[in-house]
Structure 1
Amino acid sequence: MTDTEFGGVRALVTGGASGIGAAVVAELRERGATVAALDRSDGAADGGYAVRADVTDDDSVRAAVDEVAGRFGGLDVVVNNAGTGAQGTVEANGDDEWHRVFDVNVVGMVRVSRAALPHLRRSSRAVIVNVGSIAATAGLPQRALYSATKGAVTALTRAMAADHLAEGIRVNAVNPGTADTPWVGRLLDAADDPEAERAALEARQPHGRLVSAREIAHAVAYLASPLASSTNGVSLAVDGGMQDLRPRRG
């Protein structure tokens, strides 16, 4: 290791071209890591290395992970951030949509982790960080499908942490509250009254605003850090207190 926190650390971030993923790429690079952004879109945040792949395509995932590990001489950190959203009650979406969203949000993480494990086993500071959601632990209206996938991510994170503990591979998750991301922006743009919808989303978080992508990136960096070697199997909420606080108003 060099004298910086992430000096010598080689990381891969899925969904790294925009939103939370781009913030994570920038944060890890700022702290000294060498970072690749895996995304369906071209380009990487902050001028970093980019590799194109689709997490729903196992062949493209394996090729991308191997390309990054070959270029960097190994792999130490994987951030499973790529995901998609869904709205509605349990009856709002058909089987095809349920399969599609699970394929991206859950099986996508499986594909990337499975491809990365042979490389991570050769690292002395191996970490996987999964990006979940507060929807895994708090009942939110009109989010049945999305919540089901993020609940699966929480369970998957714990199971992976147990499975790979003896191999020296830590697995943790970050559960953001409603974040100021492009996907949320599109939801607001489609609302009948975008300003009222934004106010409602902000009001349900105790600190009264959306969570920023950089705040989530800080949490990812903590869990990925070699200095957090005793933190394993946790899901860290970054939600302004939405999950656990019941503040008095007025």
Structure 2
Amino acid sequence: MSSLRDATGLRVLITGASGTFGRALARELTGRGARVVGLDVAPRDDDPVPVIACDLTDDDAVPAAVATAMGRLGGLDLLINNAGVGGPAPAELAPGAEVRRQLDINLLGTWRVSAACVPALVASRGRVVMVASRMAVMQLPFAAAYGASKRAMVAYADALRLELGTHVGVTCVYPSAVRSPIHDSTAAAGLSLEGMSSYEPLEGVVDTVLRAALSRRTRRDLPTTRRGAVELFLARHLPALTDRIVARTFAARIRSGAFGTAELAAPAVERHAGAGA
């Protein structure tokens, strides 16, 4: 990545900084000479950078934490909106606490932090990188809240880009699935999407976020793999085709018994059994 800008002295704020992606990004950026501060609801003793405890769902706590971070950094050049949560949320069920949690953190948490950072980013002519998801464009079953929150996050990024584009660059990065604790609650509910997603290495996601942050020209959208680039293209230009691909894969997973013990999947399993009768 020799074409990237020098990160020495870059002032960086990372949300979700104590998680899998956040810690890896913090290490890479500090290794390149950047000054990094993180926000996280549960900082760890072994975090590679200073991390300020902050609940991104708290309207009052977020501006205060951002102000503390920028006070330590002396301003802000780069915001990486990385914080995010997942969990089981079938679309056919009424939204409950789990759905509200994902929307509040993934979408509104991103919005709260970004809004608090706008004056500093405009002053520095900085950048915002949104760690979105392949599911922002290609939905998977049983994860409606995550997909909806990430698609809305991209819509928010589009609006932010239009409003701040004279001074601030905004890039969305689209990882597929990376093995991390974000999948634990879905797996515990018997709704693991193993077999429906191809896992990719963490290093590829980190490299793509760095390209978004440090490229000389601001990029609008960046998939993290070649396969991801194809999926992004198909989902945007041939959505009916991607629907059929996902539906066939989903049906095959149901026939294999993958969701046989999952209470939340029972209606879908029953419908597929009836459709094949």
Shift of 1:191: 6.6
Residues 200-211 of structure 1: pairs in structure 2 closer than 5 A: 200-201=195-196, 204-205=197-198, 210-211=199-200
Instruction: Please tell me the residue identity of whatever aligns with 2:44.
Output: G
SS of match in other structure, 2:165: helix
Shift of 1:219: 1.0
Shift of 1:193: 10
Change (3 A) 1:6 1:92: same
Change (3 A) 1:98 1:161: same
1:213 aligns with 2:202: yes
Change (3 A) 1:134 1:56: same
SS of match in other structure, 1:58: coil
Contact kept? 2:42, 2:53, Cα under 8 Å = yes
C-alpha distance in 2, partners of 1:23/1:55? 20
Counterpart in the other structure of 1:66: 67
Segments of structure 2 that go 5 or more residues without pairing to the other structure are: 235-277
Contact kept? 2:26, 2:48, Cα under 8 Å = no
| Offset from partner CA, 1:147-205 (integer Å, 9 cap, x none) | 11111111111221111011x210111111011111225544x27698xx64x25xx43
1:179 aligns with 2:170: no
Counterpart in the other structure of 1:47: 48
C-alpha distance in 2, partners of 1:239/1:70? 36
The structure with the largest alpha-carbon Rg is 2
Higher relative contact order (CA 8 A, sep 6+): 1
C-alpha distance in 1, partners of 2:101/2:190? 27
Question: How many correspondences in the alignment?
Answer: 228
Counterpart in the other structure of 2:218: 231
Instruction: Please tell me the residue identity of whatever aligns with 2:25.
Output: V
Segments of structure 1 that go 5 or more residues without pairing to the other structure are: none
Instruction: Please tell me the residue identity of whatever aligns with 1:62.
Output: P
| Offset from partner CA, 1:80-135 (integer Å, 9 cap, x none) | 111111323212352443333211111111100011111112214x0111111100
| TM-score with structure 2 setting the length | 0.75
Counterpart in the other structure of 2:129: 129
C-alpha distance in 2, partners of 1:193/1:163? 39
Change (3 A) 1:192 1:128: closer
SS of match in other structure, 1:37: strand
* Candidates 230, 242, 262, aligned match of 1:244: 230
Contact kept? 2:129, 2:173, Cα under 8 Å = yes
Contact kept? 2:81, 2:110, Cα under 8 Å = yes
| TM-score with structure 1 setting the length | 0.82
C-alpha distance in 2, partners of 1:185/1:88? 13
C-alpha distance in 2, partners of 1:87/1:187? 5
